[in-house]
Each structure stands twice: as structure tokens, then as C-alpha cells.
Structure 1
Amino acid sequence: MLMSASSASIINSSIFILTGFPGLNQYHPWFSIPFSSVYAMVFLGNCMVLHVIRTESSLHQPMFYFLALLALTDLCMGLSTVHTVLGILWGLNQEVNLDACIAQSYFIRGLSCTESGVLLAMAFDCFIAICNPLRYTSILTNNRVIHFMVTILIRSALSILPVIIRLKFFPYCCPHILSHSFCLHQDLLQLACSDIRFNSFYALALVICTVLLDAILILISYIFILHTVLATASREERLKSLQTCVSHICAVLVFYIPIIGLTIVHRFGKHLSPLVHVLMGNIYILFPPLMNPIIYSVKTQQIRSRMKK
């Protein structure tokens, strides 16, 4: 009898409860309609971008290779969260075991880091295209593009492993209730009943060395781009040069604004309703994958014309 009680305690200690919209559980079936539509648009839009780039030989260029990696990243972000979000809203399952929760946290963190790196690579592409167009093909060769992409993926996969691995060995305080419909690293840390200083400091350093550093480098690249564009004599040439970067600027804003909003809410919005935290978390996860295919379909003439065909 004692043995079975002990075993049950060990099993239960590895189970976590995900929440949907706190206090609005009765409306979850209704919320599932817009969320299902958003996920369907995420999958359809990003798959369409990938298909167009793969089948249209004129799009086999560095900019569109980076765009394909961006679409693949957004697609994976949707796949990594759809089962828990819709599972809760449809009333199927709110429980997730520790290993699955850690894996989901790893993919969310890693994919965010990947998207930041891809946006930086695309900024570099815009910088070379506008500031040094005559050497564009010699600088951004296929081999260099592949090296960039592999470096981005390796950075994302390895940099977050130390904090993710440590999550496996923390004891967790009851109740095991997470504040979102998916597992986030900071949510698991708040439930840990041990010293979490390494995870907290490492996570902060990681954000500074990846997302923040990428944002600074993107800003610097656009300062040089703007300087080059303003030095152009013709107004038409200025507009043409700026139009080259419009879709990328929109993608950068779509990615960084939700991250900044979620960070502010987590750091300074502890007095806010849990509903605000949940809403910001879902915007952070779903807004970039939803908007990027729309932005590039509308603003990129080659993709727009191919989709019309």
C-alpha cells in the first residue's frame, strides 16, 4: 500500500496542468474557432510560401532561401504549440508530462532564436543588395548562404541546451499549474523549488547575446542602408531601394514588438490580470507566423505574381 502511494506521488509530480483563458473556461469552445482559423492560416500561408519558392526557379536566390527558412521556422512554431492550445480549447486534455513540457519549451525558445537569426541574415542580404550591389552575387554565394543558415540553426539548437537540460532535474512545487496553453521556460522556473539563479542569469544573457544583439545589428544595417539611399540622386531610385526592404522591416516589427510586449508584461505586469499574460503569450507565439506569409505575399512582387498563377 505504501509502495503504491509513493509511486503515485512520483508519477503525479511529473504532470503539469496547462491553462487556457483563466476564468473563461466556459467560452473555450468559442475561442477554439478563431484559434483554429489562425492555425489553419499559419499552416496554409507558410506551406504556400515554401511551395512557391521551391517550384519557381527565378526565386532560387539568397533572399528567398532565407525567406524559406523563415517560413519553415514559423511553420514549426505552429506545429510545436497547436496540439496543446487546441487540446485545451476543445476540452480534450490539459495535462502534459514534464518531458513533453521541456521539449515544447525547447522548441519555442529555439525557434524564436532561429527567427531572430534569420531576420538578421535577411537584413545583411538587404544591406549587400543596396550598399554593394555590384558584389552581391560574389558575396552571397550559395555556399555562404548555406553556411549562414547552418550557423543560425546550430546557434539556436545548442545555445539553449544548458537551461533546458537543467529543467529536467529541478524539483517542482505543487500545484503544477502553468499560466499558458503551452510550456514556457519562465513558467517552469516559477514552479521550481530549488536554486534557479543559473537558469535566470543564463536566460537573460542568452536573450542579450542573441535576440538583442541581432536587433542591434539589424538596426545598424538599416542605418547604413538609409545613408546609402539618401545619397542616391534620383527620388525614384530612393523609393525603389526602400521598397526592397519594406517587407523585411515589417517582418522585423512583427517579430520584435510581441517579444518586447511579453517581456514588459512578465517583468513589470505582475499586478495585471492573468488574462493579459495569456493573451500576450499567444500573440508572441502566433502573430509572427500568421503575418509573415501575408507580408511577403503582399509586398514581394515575385511571390505575389506566382501565387496569382
Structure 2
Amino acid sequence: MVFLPLFLFKLKKFGKNMTLYDSAHSLYHELLLQSYDELKKAISGHTFGRNDCLRLATIVCSNCYHFREHLKEGYGYDFSTDYLREKCEDYILARDITNLTKHYKLTNYTPLISNPNDIYEYLHITLYEDAKGQYRHHQIKVSVKLTTGVEKDVLSIVTNVLNMWTEILVSQGILNKSIYFNYINKIFFSRDEANKNLPLLKIKQGVRCAPTIAFSQYDYESNTLKSVDIKDFKMGFYEKSNNTIIDYSLDIKDKTFTDFVELTDQEQGEFIMLTDDVDIENFIKKIAEKYKYL
């Protein structure tokens, strides 16, 4: 207790301030990697509607693009845009996403993206079917539509650029070992792997709400996703509540159990997502066992 204030005083007076920008090594870990991890965490979640993932994606693109300037001006490592384009074409896409979302329109050069509205966030719902019946998996994605009409996943773009920077920093001795980041565009999820969380739509009163939702169905023969006819599709929106109650009647061993049970938020999310009778019955059994009715 006596020496701690003196120790802190000496650090402040004689030591070097440690900041985000004090070295290329710290900038890589605390800016590039940190923002990339935050984007992946948000995308793997279940909250959409206010472009949280889109906002994080543009931040990561900006960090990946401007990392070149920091290396040059701050630490003396000079890499030309042409050199970086040869190593990773997606670096140019990160540049265009960064500049378009900052300036809206570009006049100094012709970008690969026409306007910032071609960069968007959406909820992708995929339908599957097994012996128990139909189930679904949902993912949040951020996509960009190029002037050629091709659409690319922005997570794929920043992953490729991050791998490029990792390789360059290793070659310059800034990083000790190479770390490879995988982008896996997984399309099949078993019932156990499927996202159990109920998609949570965030809206704000007085602000337009226009979420984009895409539907597809997994084709087991071709291992591909196919479009879904949604003309008869019905979607329900439920207000999040702290006192959701279900009433149930359950027949077990010639006995009938009937009761009212108050569900937690997590249980409510699980219950609303159930679509087949087997899963509903198993869920009710689990609730009944939890409250010791069985």
C-alpha cells in the first residue's frame, strides 16, 4: 500500500505511455484482431434489425484498409496498393467499402461497388428436415453486391485481408508465427447444431425498421441451398416478456398433468421455436421435471 502510488508515479513520469498505436505489433492485435473478433461474435449471435453487424463490418474493413497507412507513417513499412492487390484482391474491396461508407460517392476512381446501399445486413433462415420433422437454422450475414452483380460475404473479405496482413507481418519479423483465420461457409447444420436462440429483432420507436430476411431450404441430394417459395409463409413477432406463461396437459404413464408454468426468457425462446410435436412434448417434459411435477 505504501509503494504502489510511488511506483505508478514513476511509470507516468519516466516510462513510455503504452497506447494502441505504440507499435505495429500492438496495432495488429488490439485493432485488427480485436475488431475482427467482435464482428465474428456479433454475426454468430441472434440480434438483428439495427445494422449492428453491418456497422462492425465497415469498421473492420476500415481497419484492414488503413493498416497500410499506419505501417508506413508510424513504423516505416511501405507497401504499395498494387503490391497488396496482387497479394489479396479483397484488399481493394475493403478499400471501396471503407471509402463508400465514408463519402457515399467516389469520383477519384471507379470502385467495384456502386454505392453504400449495396452493402447490407440480413437474417438468413435455412429450413432442414430430419426424422423428427422440420427445423430451422438462422444466421446473420453482411453482404456486398459488386458492380458485376456478384455478391460476396463481407466476413470472407476481411478474413482474407487479415490473413494477408498476418503473412506480411510475419515476413517482416513483427509477428513470431503465422496465424491463419478460416472462413467456413457452412450450409448444413444438424438439429443439435442449429441455432436454438430465437432471432431477436431490435427496433427503436420513431426510426424506420426494414430488416432483410432471406429464406432457403437445404437440398440433401445436391448438398446445396435452394430458394423457398414464401408466398404462404407466416412469421410471428413476439414481445419479449419476463412473465411468459404456458399451460400444458401432459399424459405420462396413464396420468395426466395439467398446470400453468412461468417461463424464463431462455425457455420462452426455446418454446416459440419448436415446430414438431415430438420436440414440444419433450420440452414440456423438461419443464415439468424442472418444477418437480414428475
TM-score normalised by length of structure 1:
0.30
- Structure showing greater relative contact order (alpha-carbon pairs closer than 8 Å, 6 or more residues apart): 1
Q: Whose radius of gyration is greater, 1 or 2?
A: 2
Q: Which has the higher helix share?
A: 1
Q: Which has the higher strand share?
A: 2
